[in-house]
A and B are shown apart, each in its own frame.
Chain A
Amino acid sequence: MSDAIVIENLEKHFGDVKAVDGLDLKVPEGQLFGLLGPNGSGKTTTIKILCGVLKPTSGRAFVGGYEVGRSDGRVKELIGVCPQEDAIYSTLTGRENVELFGKLHSMPSDELRRKADLYLEKMGLADDSRRKAGKYSGGMKKRISIIMAIIHDPDIAFLDEPTAAMDPQSKNVVWDFIRELKAKGKTVVLTTHHMEEAEELCDVVGIIDHGRLIAMGTPKELREAFHEKDLEGVFIQLTGRRIREGA
Chain B
Amino acid sequence: MNVNRLSALVKVNLKRIVREPASLFMVILFPVMLTLFFGMAYGGVGGGGQATYQVGVVNLASSPQGPWTQAFLGNLTSTRILDAHFYESNATAQADLRQGKLSAVLVIPESFERGASSYNLNPGDPSSWRTSTVQLYLDSGSMFALQAVGPVVQQALASSVYVSAVQPAALPVQLGSASLVTVAKFSTFDYMVPGLFAFSAIFLTMMVAQSFTLDREKGLLRRMSTTPVKASEFMASHAISNMLLALIQVGLVFVLASAVGYHAQGGLASLAFAFLLVGVFAASCVGFGLITATVAKSSGAATGIAFAFIMPQMFLGTFVSTGVSGAMATVGRFVPSYYVTDALTSLFLRGAPPTGASALTDLGIVSAISAAILIAGVLLYQKFGNS
Interface positions of A (Cβ within 8 A of B): 48, 51-53, 73, 76-77, 79, 81, 83-92, 96, 100-101, 103-106, 132
Contact = CB atoms under 8 A, between A and B. Distances in A.
Interface string B3-47: 011001100100110011000000000000000000000000000
B226 A52 contact: yes
Contact of B15 (A85, A96, A106): A96
A87 B218 contact: yes
Contacts of A53: 222, 225-226
A101 B227 contact: yes
A76 B228 contact: yes
B66 interface: no
A103 B19 contact: no
B227 A89 contact: no
Contact of A104 (B8, B16, B220): B8
B11 to A, nearest CB: 9
B48 interface: no
A197 B94 CA distance: 88
B99 interface: no
A83 B223 contact: yes
B16 A89 contact: yes
Contacts of A132: 19
A103 B10 CA distance: 12
A87 B225 CA distance: 12
B219 A83 contact: yes
Contacts, number: 67
Contact of A92 (B12, B222, B225): B12
Given A87-B223, A91-B15, A92-B15, A104 B228 contact: yes
B226 A81 contact: yes
B269 interface: no
A92 B226 contact: no
Interface residues of B, number: 21
Given A73-B228, A83-B219, 20 more contacts: A52-B226, A53-B226, A76-B227, A76-B228, A81-B223, A84-B219, A85-B219, A87-B220, A87-B222, A91-B16, A91-B19, A91-B20, A92-B16, A92-B19, A101-B227, A103-B5, A104-B227, A105-B227, A106-B5, A132-B19
A105 B225 contact: no
Main secondary structure of the interface of B (DSSP, over half): helix
A142 to B, nearest CB: 13
B306 to A, nearest CB: 20
Interface string B157-182: 00000000000000000000000000
Contact of A89 (B4, B12, B225): B12
B5 A104 contact: yes
B157 to A, nearest CB: 64
Interface in B94-149: none
B1 interface: no
A112 to B, nearest CB: 11
Given A85-B219, A92-B15, A76 B8 contact: no
Contacts of A85: 218-219
Contacts of A90: 218
Interface in B227-254: 227-229
A77 B230 CA distance: 12
Nearest to B19: A91
B217 to A, nearest CB: 9
A88 B218 CA distance: 8
Contacts of B330: none
Given A83-B223, A86-B218, A104 B229 contact: yes
B325 interface: no
A52 B225 contact: yes
Most chain B CB within 10 A, of A81, A86, A87, A88, is at A87
A76 B226 CA distance: 6
A73 B5 CA distance: 14
A141 B12 CA distance: 18
A21 B12 CA distance: 40
Contacts of B2: 106
A58 B243 CA distance: 42
A132 B20 CA distance: 11
Given A76-B226, A91-B20, A100 B8 contact: yes
Contacts of B218: 85-88, 90
Most chain A CB within 10 A, of B4, B8, B226, B228, is at B226
Contacts of B228: 73, 76-77, 104-106
23 contacts: A51-B225, A77-B228, A81-B226, A83-B219, A83-B223, A87-B222, A87-B223, A88-B218, A88-B220, A89-B12, A89-B220, A91-B15, A91-B20, A92-B12, A92-B15, A96-B15, A100-B8, A100-B12, A103-B5, A104-B8, A105-B227, A106-B2, A132-B19
A51 B224 CA distance: 11
A53 B226 CA distance: 7
A103 B12 CA distance: 11
A242 B68 CA distance: 103
Contacts of A51: 225-226
B14 to A, nearest CB: 11
A103 B8 contact: yes
Nearest to B229: A104
A83 B220 CA distance: 9
Nearest to A51: B226
Nearest to A90: B218
Contacts of B226: 51-53, 76, 79, 81, 83
The 7 A-B residue pairs with the shortest CB-CB distance, nearest first, are A103-B8, A87-B219, A87-B223, A81-B226, A85-B219, A91-B19, A51-B226
A91 B223 CA distance: 17
Contacts of B9: 100, 104
A221 B226 CA distance: 34
A19 B16 CA distance: 36
